[in-house]
Each structure stands twice: as C-alpha cells, then as structure tokens.
Amino acid sequence: MKPTGPMSLSPPTTASPFRPLDRSLNRVFKRLMDLTLACAGLLALAPLFLIIPILIKLDSPGPAFYVAKRVGRHGRPFRLYKFRTMHRDADREGPGVTRAGDERITRMGHFLRQTKLDELPQLINVVKGEMSLVGPRPEDPRYVAHYTPQQEAVLSVAPGITSLASIRFRNEETLLVGQQWERIYIEKIMPEKIRIDVIYLDNWSPSLDLRILLYTFFVLPSTDEKYLL
C-alpha cells in the first residue's frame, strides 16, 4: 500500500491553550476506539502470542516477555510489556535506549525489532487503559527527567504504541552512534520527537489516528520520510 500524499501537519504558530483531547467527549471516543481495536487485535493475533515466545526461548535463555518501567499519562509510572529482544538482564547492563550495533540484542530480537512485532504485547497495556494505540511513545523515567515544562505537554495523554514521531524516527538506532550517542538522543532526537508529538496533540482527530495506524502497519517498511510530516 502506497501513500496517496504527504501527511501534512503544520506546527501551530502559537501555543494551543486548549487541545482536542482536552475535551472529555474526544477522550471517551478515543478510548472506545482503542479498546475495540486492541481487543480485536489480540484475538486476531493470538497465534503469534503462542509462536513468538517459543522462538524467543529457543534463541536465548530467559523469559519471553520483557517488562519495562515507563512514564505514562500525568507522569504516572506503569509497566510496559514487550516481547524480549535482548539478552536476559540486558537493561541492567546498559542505557534505556538502544544504540546502533547494540550487542545486547539477540538474533530473534533483531527480527522482532525490524518487523515491530516486539511491540504487540502493548495491546495488553491498551486494554488496561495504560496506553493508547496512537500517542506519544512512552519514555524511560531517566529521560523524562530532562523534559522542560513545555515538553511535559506530551504527558497530558496516554502514551501510544505508535506515533508520528516513531514513524519519523523509525530508524532511530542508526542515528545513535559514537561516544556521545546518549547526548545526541537527549539534546537532539528526543526534543524533535516531542516537537512532533505536540503537533499531533494540537491537530488530533479520529481520522488522524486512523491515518497513523495505516502508515504504521502498511506503509512504514517502505515509505519515504517526505510522506510523513
């Protein structure tokens, strides 16, 4: 499936005093859409929840699932679920983001990350109400500590499985190279991701969420960046 045109969103010229998701009706509609699609996804993808754990355990010792601490809506911490893509206890051996050539990633992990299948268990987070299908990606508490008061606007909504920023930075790991890779993430990549997330919040609509989902599942592997923003 090819995009028919650019996903054009223009940054607001002034800060929005009231965003679409500040309206309770919009939040209820988004929650109903999340719950419906997440439950349908869990049912449709149930075979993968049986096959993938087996392949993970055959590839490397350790649990099939990985639970990470992330920051959710209003700054509340929650437990994010993923299929494990790294060696056991890898989170204790390194940072909270993955850099280029990260040796902690397993063979199966490379495949899961490339196909984004490692994110499937987050449908459980959506059903529990901790996440949304679309929204700013949840960040590690170590990096949320660097947010400015303006950037904390992204914490006003539930974090998402996919987002405009995650599509734009779908190859983020390749940008995190060299000795100063973590500084690059904190000072350059993270602020740009947050800027894109704020544009999303200022322009939210049900149709925008559906377009982002379509880009994620059908276009993401092959799309050019010029189509994204």
Q: Where are the domains of the chain?
A: 23-227
pLDDT at 17: 57
Q: Which residues contact 175 (CB under 8 A, 6 or more apart)?
A: 100, 169, 184, 189
pLDDT at 7: 47
- CA nearest 166: which of 144, 133, 205? 133
Terminal C-alpha separation, the chain: 18
Tens of pLDDT along the chain (229 residues) come to 434 444 444 444 444 558 999 999 999 999 999 999 999 999 999 999 999 999 999 999 999 999 999 999 999 999 999 999 988 877 776 666 776 677 888 999 989 988 889 999 999 999 999 999 999 999 999 999 999 999 999 999 999 999 999 988 888 888 888 788 889 999 999 999 999 999 999 999 999 999 999 988 876 544 444 444 4
Query: b vs e for 176-200, b when ≥16 Cβ sit within 10 Å of the residue's Cβ?
Result: beeeebeeebeeebbeebbebbbbb
Residue 89, phi-psi category: left (phi > 0), alpha (psi -120 to 50), beta (remainder):
left
Q: CA 63 → CA 37, 50, 85, 151, 167, distances in Å? A: 27, 13, 10, 35, 28
Q: What is the pTM of this model?
A: 0.84
Q: Which residues contact 172 (CB under 8 A, 6 or more apart)?
A: 97, 189
Q: Which alpha helices (H) appear in the chain, and where do they start and end?
A: 24-44, 46-59, 107-115, 122-128, 141-144, 164-168, 181-184, 190-202, 206-214
- Angle at alpha carbon of residue 111, lines to 110 and 116, rounded to 5°: 100
Contact 168, 196 (CB under 8 A): yes
> Three-class SS of residue 70?
strand
Whole-number Å distance between alpha carbons of 171 and 160:
18
Q: Give me the phi and psi of 161, to 5 degrees please.
A: -70, -35
